[in-house]
Chains A and B, each alone.
Chain A
Amino acid sequence: MFRLQGSKVLAVDMTGDAVKAKNGSMVAYDGQMDFKKMSGGGEGIRGMVTRRLTGEQMTVMEVKGHGTCWFADRASEINLVSLQGDKLYVESSNLLATDAGLRTGTSFTGLRGASQGNGLFTTTVEGHGQAAIVSDGPAVVLRVSSQYPLTVDPGAYVAHQGNLRQSLQSGVTFRTLMGEGGGEAFQIRFEGDGLVYVQPSERNTIAGDV
């Protein structure tokens, strides 16, 4: 059972079950806990090789036991996401912890990933359970439905879930090349049905200043 203690610490109550968490993110526990490093994200040899190749490495540990375990990551804000059979797409660096029952994998993001500056691949989390994602500042959750498509700055995008199509919009014109661009040269447009998590801060992206 995931719960937030304050906005920057995740508390997980466990009764013999397990969670997967970012390596080294445990800050405290009481009760009896076992920590086991899972190389390659715990997806077997194939998953490990895929992660190496795609640059979406995550070092994950499995925490198992009875009691409460607290997790935190560099005082980042933590957001809880509950999944009911749908898929969460999140950058591996933003994923803090997942229920053991959730499957993780990698997927191709294409140009969106490139415009964010974190590579062409992203991590997926799938199944029934809870996941915790971290963001720089509390994330704003925005709903996308068929009548309300959403456009997001790649630097502020954290994660999305549901059945969404994304496309990269480019506002690059000859003005951009002349240094008179609109400052928002690349945008990701989400259409379909689902939720998008954005953080109130922008990562440095290759298109950050155009």
Chain B
Amino acid sequence: MSTPYGTPGGPAVFDPATLPSDDNVNAYTFCVELKGSQWFLQKGKMIAYYGSMEFNGIGHGRLDRLVRTSFHSPLHASDWVVAEGSGKMLLADRAFDVNSYDLEDGNLTIRSGNLLAFQPSLALKQSIVPGFLTLIGTGKFVAASNGPVVFMEPPIRVDPQALVGWADCPSPCHHYDHGYMTGVMGGLRALTGLGGASGEEHQFEFVGAGTVLLQSTEALMAEQATGAVPQQAGVPGGGGPHTGPSQQGGAPRLPGQLGDLQRRFGL
């Protein structure tokens, strides 16, 4: 090519013809091609675009229909925008690794801060697990992670900080190592950190058929608000009326905290 600027052998120079379509430019940048179509993206993740595009907040009146069919958590709508138009758009997030994933008539639950963008053919819903979002349907979405993502098959126990999400509904639950919980000394140890806590006593356990996505560091990405859930009895995180005497207070309590000790003594 005999165009000025840029050197042979130097860094790759992209223009609209050489940018990939709906694929990664490098590990940290993703290129989306819009042909009169729409994409949902998290606010402020667009870094550059060719062509003509419009970015509208979800509250935009014209988008009501779209939002009704593919955006089901109106309560955090202010964090999302719809990109519309034609051209190529680059997405990136604080120099984290980004990757695209294809869902085919499937479902995937992902930590809210990790999801960057998705096609409107997918429906976004709040997960009943607080802080997570679920995508249902067929289409492509883009997610960021701190370090490359690894895919694991259940049954598996994972570190809470390394969990990015899970697909096809394995059932997640908490797992505590037994020795950590037993006796007054175990509780004290967890409370004070004295006497050798390994820091790995608490895990998430996945069983069932599906895939679990992990990132390769334990440094979490910033959470994105998922919006409040209706204040109803039986809704996790809803802060509704308590259903039993064992559920006290809205804040999650770590095992081994004094409350548990007191309960253990029957106080």
Known: A142-B48, A150-B49. A194 touches B78 (CB 8 A): no
Could you tell me the distance in whole angstroms from the C-beta of B181 to the nearest C-beta in chain A? 41
Contact call B90/A140, Cβ cutoff below 8 A? yes
What residues on A are CB-neighbors of B92 within 8 Å? 137, 156, 199-202
Contact call B11/A79, Cβ cutoff below 8 A? yes
Contact call A209/B43, Cβ cutoff below 8 A? yes
Total contacting residues, chain B, CB less than 8 A: 41
- Of B3, B4, B25, chain A has the most CB atoms within 10 Å of the CB of B4
Interface residue stretch chosen among B50-58, B159-167, B187-195: B50-58
Contact call A142/B57, Cβ cutoff below 8 A? no
B250 within 8 A of A: no
Contact call B15/A148, Cβ cutoff below 8 A? yes
B183 within 8 A of A: no
Could you tell me the distance in whole angstroms from the C-beta of B125 to the nearest C-beta in chain A? 21
What residues on A are CB-neighbors of B11 within 8 Å? 79-80, 139, 141
Closest partner residue, chain B, to A137 (CB atom): B95
What residues on B are CB-neighbors of A209 within 8 Å? 43-44
B93 within 8 A of A: yes
Closest partner residue, chain B, to A184 (CB atom): B55
A171 within 8 A of B: yes
Partner of A202, one of B12, B29, B44, B78: B44
Would you list which residues of chain B between 89 and 108 have a CB under 8 Å from chain A? 90, 92-95, 98
B16 within 8 A of A: yes
Could you tell me the distance in whole angstroms from the C-beta of A68 to the nearest C-beta in chain B? 20
Partner of A180, one of B10, B44, B60: B60
What residues on A are CB-neighbors of B50 within 8 Å? 142, 148-151
Contact call A82/B95, Cβ cutoff below 8 A? no
Closest partner residue, chain B, to A179 (CB atom): B78
Interface residues of A (CB under 8 A from B): 79-80, 82, 86, 136-143, 145, 148-153, 155-156, 161-162, 171, 175, 179-184, 193-196, 198-202, 208-209
Q: List 7 A-B contacts (CB under 8 A).
A: A137-B29, A140-B25, A145-B15, A155-B44, A180-B60, A184-B44, A202-B44
